[in-house]
């Protein structure tokens, strides 16, 4: 499903996951602990996650998977 969303809408993987989970950008940013503007830059690929943010994103995705 994620790959279908990525290719059919020309979305990044993060955008497809967020859509599939039904989260707004604000909710996704809150879960990760960053500003919405920062989240947008990361989601569209302008800014790399880097070693500081990658664990936060992984934890947020895992938390979302376990709670749903």
C-alpha–C-alpha distance, residues 48 and 19, integer Å: 20
Which pTM does this prediction carry? Answer: 0.75
Per residue in 16-37, pLDDT tens?
Answer: 988 998 999 999 999 888 999 9
Q: What CATH number corresponds to the domain at position 44?
A: 1.10.260.40
pLDDT attached to residue 6: 94
Report how many domains make up the chain.
1
Domain that holds residue 15: 2-67
């Amino acid at each position: 499903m994620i790959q279908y969303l990525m290719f059919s809408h020309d979305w990044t993987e993060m955008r497809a996951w967020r859509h599939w989970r039904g989260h707004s950008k604000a909710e996704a940013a809150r879960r990760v602990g960053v500003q919405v503007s920062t989240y947008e830059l990361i989601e569209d690929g302008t800014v790399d996650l880097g070693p500081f943010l990658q664990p936060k994103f992984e934890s947020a995705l895992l938390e979302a998977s376990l709670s749903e």
